[in-house]
Structure 1
Amino acid sequence: MARYTSLFKVAVSLDGFRQLLADILRSCSLDVIYSSEDYLVAREVPGHVAFAKLVTVEVLIEQFPTKESEVQMSFVVKNEELPLRNNNHCRQIFNLINQAVAESRQWHLIESAAS
């Protein structure tokens, strides 16, 4: 199973934050299938790759009570594909998501880390 993780801390107005995050994931061809206050799951739209390559993204959202406008997001991007190559489908979607989150003009990126 291919699995990649990243962490982002952003400065953003909390009004509409979840909708903004959902829009970013949609721009990466992912549909949000579950959303709560602190957790979001999105899945790649079927039809473009084999079923085992379909990517699922889990986002854990942490708000800091001391800093009203900071949000930390932990992303887990995974699929059932064996990561036999460095540049596999899951890694490509992971890179696409990281780029979209880092380059969003709707918030200010404070910190990021990926593994």
Structure 2
Amino acid sequence: MAGGAVPDLIAAAERGDQADLVNISSDAVHRGFPNFAVYCATKAAVTHLAHTLRTELGPRQVSVTHIEPGLVETELTAHLTHPESYETPDRHHPQHARTCSGGHRGGSSPSRRANQAM
């Protein structure tokens, strides 16, 4: 999906316009959840894609960010069979989510991009 946006982002950066790509991953990248191997692996792929795109697009003035929120209670969480596996002491703490960015665009902070993505 990111590949379809890349030419437009590069063109925007070349014009001097804002060029930010934001990917949503998960903190599941950093810890495993029983019975959610595929979910964790696909989120790890999103994170790795962001790292790779950052190295490719950063020099072209396109900023690449990925956000790794903690568990958000949704319909999916009602189906977890091992709820103890995702409980952490800081689960509801605002800093539990991670924002990672790179590339360099003046005035384009990771927190601003994270807020725009929400």
TM beyond 0.5: no
Q: Structure 1-normalised TM-score?
A: 0.30
The structure with the greater share of residues assigned to strand is: 1
Identify the structure with bigger relative contact order (alpha carbons < 8 Å, sequence gap 6+): 1
Structure number having the greater helix percentage:
2
TM-score (norm 2): 0.30
Larger Rg: 2
